[in-house]
Amino acid sequence: MDFFLEFPELGRHTLAAMRKAIDTSFIHFSREYGAALEAFFYPLLQFMIWFEKLLLSTPWPIILLIIGGLAWFGSRSVKITVGSVIAMALIGIFGMWEDTMATLAIVSVATLLCVVIGIPIGIVMARFERAQSVITPILDVMQTIPSFVYLIPVVMLLGIGKVPGLLAVCIYAIPPIVRLTNLGIRLVDRDVLEAADAFGASPRQKLFSVQVPLALPNIFAGVNQTIMMALSMVVIASMIGVRGLGVPVLKAISNQYLSLGLMNGLAIVALAIIFDRVSQTYGQRLQAYRKGFGDE
Amino acid sequence: MSEAKIEIKNLYKVFGDHPSKVIELVQDGISKTDLLEKHGHILGLKDISLKIPNREIQVIMGLSGSGKSTLIRHINRLIEPTAGEIWIDNEDVTAMSQAALRDLRRFKTSMVFQKFALLPHRTVIENVAYGLSMQGVPEAEAHKRAMHWIERVELNGFENNYPGQLSGGMQQRVGLARALATDAEILLMDEAFSALDPLIRTGMQNILLGLQEELHKTIVFITHDLDEALRLGDNIAILRDGEMVQDGSPQDIVMRPADDYVSEFIKDINRGRVIKVGSLADPAASASDGAPIIVADTALETALSTLVAAPGQSCRITKKDGSDLGTLTLERAVAALHAPAG
Ligand SMILES: Nc1ncnc2c1ncn2[C@@H]1O[C@H](COP(=O)(O)OP(=O)(O)OP(=O)(O)O)[C@@H](O)[C@H]1O
Ligand SMILES: [Mg+2]
């Protein structure tokens, strides 16, 4: 009867030995290759440092101007442009300018990295069934595993700092862009593809003249989601040494500073809204050809 | 009939997981139903042989599901055959490498689709220039040539619009211009006008006939509409359940339908417009002196009034060059207007 009440688990010693074996071998691994990995990521680190410095050393009016310009270029909407500039100005007035620039730096670099890596992966997935069946479960794991769990090996390998923070953000933020690139390409009208074939398009020409352009609205929705997810990782990333709006939030949690937490939290929300509106309206403008007369 | 531009030889297509395993059964003549029920494969085309003459319009006709689209897609090998060969200009398309096949599609064939299949993210002129850019023509030159064809299909002023901003008829004119712009000798048209309203459809047929008069392309035109087939076709092939039941000139089809399926197809058409007097001339009979002369390719409908007024109600039929073909009597003409018994 006991057999059914207690789960027949492996013995305590066996489990402990197992865990220890895995841990020590990973520690060995990280000792062995940690330095090499760091060297590998060194250019990335330099780039991040350079970009953050650039944002911080540029006079604030110019940054405001650039943000307004980007918002206008993306959305072509006065409301969104003015709203973005006002939100950024408020952030500055309430003393969060520097942290915001740091956050902007990591989110931009992370998004860039996700786009550069994620879109090609999505294209490969759309092209080969096998790639899709292998990569989809990996993406599922990346999206559902609690971030703290993969922070452990990342920190063990690379220690604390910008690069591990960036990796953690990317692991969390890359799945949507991969998925939506894959989906977007698969949803391209078969008739149009057949027409491209009939005019002698090579697979490569088909990819760049038909599949990617027609998948762009979906790819763009992926970029939008990736940005949002990168922003939502800001607080967790600050736990492993990434500067930015996450740091004061962490301090506020441990010291119960309500207003500090709220203000920095709201700044993150403001950034999220700006990114979201601008990238969404830009995505919609990409599809203008789908509409009739009178639209741009 | 002039020499064949495209020759299809004993073409078979079986859809399913292992076509090569059942192809012998098909070649031994298993029925479509048996193939599906006992072996789980679909018979798409069965032993099709067809010579498509150079610079003429070959119509392929048949009911929905008879294999028309499957057949036309074999000509540029958008579909791989299970067995058989397709020859274009003495080259075996089925044996071509991928690169050779791409060149065939870029330079020798072009295609117009039932659902237009335009690139929605490109403007009219970019769409028309698409085939040219696949040929490697530089953009400026491609746009110049595209503009010429846009004018030919009377779409000037719309070159910078997107397809989504045009009506169906206009979109198909873009499709036609895109196909013509590559200067391909062979034009493949799969129910190109079927999605259009009747009036617009007639307009498109006129545009096509007008262009063909000066371009003389080899056109393979698919339709399920007999009136369209008779209007456009120099030759008509009729498909049924993947098999070819008849192949001949419009007159052949109308005057000597191969079986009940074909008879059923042609029962409602205006025979007087299709039948030419040349095919009715009786070389044995001699016309009375002074009988009017009618040229062989006059439609029977038009010839009737002359016949009625003629002395002895008979006329002499001659070819265009004046050589004598024989005599046609009113009696014979009227008999031809009625469908063969059955
Ligand atoms: N990819 C495919 N897989 C399986 N069966 C197919 C495939 N393509 C066509 N078929 C079958 O082959 C037959 C002929 O199809 P096809 O599309 O050539 O007909 P069609 O004459 O063009 O008809 P429609 O007038 O409706 O366009 C049909 O029975 C169809 O179900
Ligand atoms: Mg069809």
pLDDT of residue A156: 87
Lowest mean pLDDT among A14-18, A176-180, A287-291: A287-291
pLDDT of residue B2: 56
Q: Is the pTM of this model over 0.90?
A: no
The fraction of chain A above a pLDDT of 90, given in percent, is 73
Residue A103 to residue A271: CA distance in whole angstroms: 9
Domain span at residue B328 reads: 272-336
pLDDT of residue A291: 61
- Domain termination residue (choose one: B214, B245, B269): B269
CATH number of the domain to which B276 belongs? 3.10.580.10
Band of pLDDT at residue B341, cut at 50, 70 and 90: very low
Band of pLDDT at residue B269, cut at 50, 70 and 90: confident
Clarify whether residues B323 and B189 are in a common domain: no
In this predicted model, what pLDDT tens digit does every residue of B277-297 receive, in sequence order? 888 888 887 766 778 888 888
- pLDDT: is B173 or B286 the higher one? B173
Clarify whether residues B276 and B265 are in a common domain: no
Clarify whether residues B175 and B218 are in a common domain: yes
Phi, psi of B88 (to 5 degrees): -125, 125
Q: Do B119 and A209 touch (CB under 8 A)?
A: yes
Please say whether the beta carbons of A264 and A56 come within 8 A.
Answer: no
Please say if the pLDDT value at position A173 is more than 80: yes
pLDDT of residue B100: 96
pLDDT of residue B201: 94
Residue B89 to residue A173: CA distance in whole angstroms: 56
Please say whether the beta carbons of A158 and A167 come within 8 A.
Answer: yes
pLDDT of residue B266: 85
Residue A280 to residue B307: CA distance in whole angstroms: 75
Q: Is A187 on the interface with B (CB under 8 A)?
A: no
- Nearest-Cα distance to chain A for B119, in Å, is 6
Closest ligand to C-alpha of residue B62 is 1
Considering only alpha carbons, which residue of chain A is nearest residue B98?
A202
Residue B80 to residue B12: CA distance in whole angstroms: 10
Q: Whose CA is nearest to atom 1 of ligand 1?
A: B15
CATH number of the domain to which B81 belongs? 3.40.50.300
B259 falls within a domain: yes
Q: Which amino acid is at B74?
A: H
Please say if the pLDDT value at position B221 is more than 90: yes
B19 lines ligand 1 (CB under 6 A): no
Please compute the mean of the pLDDT values over residues B231-260 and round it to a whole number. 92
B285 falls within a domain: yes
Band of pLDDT at residue A9, cut at 50, 70 and 90: confident
Please say if the pLDDT value at position A130 is more than 60: yes
Q: Predicted ipTM?
A: 0.88
- DSSP result, B69-133: HHHHHHHTTSS--SEEEEEETTEEGGG--HHHHHHIIIIIEEEE-TT----TTS-HHHHHTHHHH
Please say whether the beta carbons of B319 and B278 come within 8 A.
Answer: yes
Question: How far apart are the CA of A153 and the centre of ligand 2, in A?
Answer: 57
pLDDT of residue A294: 42
B139 falls within a domain: yes
Please compute the mean of the pLDDT values over residues B65-78 and round it to a whole number. 96
B6 falls within a domain: no
- pLDDT: is A155 or B78 the higher one? B78
Q: Chains A, B: CB contacts under 8 A, how many?
A: 67
Please say if the pLDDT value at position B337 is more than 90: no
pLDDT of residue B309: 87
The fraction of chain A above a pLDDT of 70, given in percent, is 97
A41-295 CATH, one of 2.40.50.140, 1.10.1270.20, 1.10.10.60, 1.10.3720.10? 1.10.3720.10
Q: Do A191 and B78 touch (CB under 8 A)?
A: no
Clarify whether residues B221 and B170 are in a common domain: yes
Clarify whether residues B153 and B92 are in a common domain: yes
- Distance, CA of B15 to chain centre: 25
Please compute the mean of the pLDDT values over residues A251-262 and round it to a whole number. 92
pLDDT of residue B78: 97
What average pLDDT is seen over chain B? 92
pLDDT of residue A295: 41
Q: Is B109 on the interface with A (CB under 8 A)?
A: yes
Q: Is A46 on the interface with B (CB under 8 A)?
A: no
Residue A172 to residue B263: CA distance in whole angstroms: 68
Q: Is B139 on the interface with A (CB under 8 A)?
A: no
Residue A257 to residue A259: CA distance in whole angstroms: 6
Clarify whether residues B87 and B144 are in a common domain: yes
A124-153 CB burial, b ≥16 within 10 A, e <16: bbbbeeebeeebeeebeebeeeebeebbee
The fraction of chain B above a pLDDT of 90, given in percent, is 68
Structure-block tokens of residue B125: 């002129």
Helices (H), A94-243: 97-127, 129-144, 147-158, 162-186, 190-198, 203-206, 212-232, 234-239
DSSP state, B339? P
pLDDT of residue A296: 38
pLDDT of residue B3: 80
B87 falls within a domain: yes
Q: Do A292 and B109 touch (CB under 8 A)?
A: no
Residue ranges covered by each domain of chain A: 41-295
Clarify whether residues B213 and B134 are in a common domain: yes
Q: Which amino acid is at B154?
A: E
Clarify whether residues B241 and B145 are in a common domain: yes
Looking at the partner chain, which of B115, B131, B164 has a beta carbon nearest the beta carbon of A199?
Answer: B131
pLDDT of residue B285: 76
pLDDT of residue A112: 95
How many separate domains does chain B show? 2
Cβ–Cβ contacts within 10 Å for residue A226, how many?
28
Q: Is B120 on the interface with A (CB under 8 A)?
A: yes
pLDDT of residue B340: 61
Q: Do B105 and A197 touch (CB under 8 A)?
A: yes
In this predicted model, what pLDDT tens digit does every residue of A73-115 receive, in sequence order? 988 899 999 999 999 999 999 999 999 999 999 999 999 999 9
Q: Chain B contacts of A194, Cβ < 8 Å?
A: 78, 113, 117
Lowest mean pLDDT among A62-66, A150-154, B73-77, B205-209: A150-154
pLDDT of residue A292: 54
Which is nearest to B307 in space by CA: B338, B272, B339, B341? B272
B82 lines ligand 1 (CB under 6 A): no
pLDDT of residue B287: 66
Please say if the pLDDT value at position B107 is more than 90: yes
Tallying the residues shown for chain A, one arrives at 296
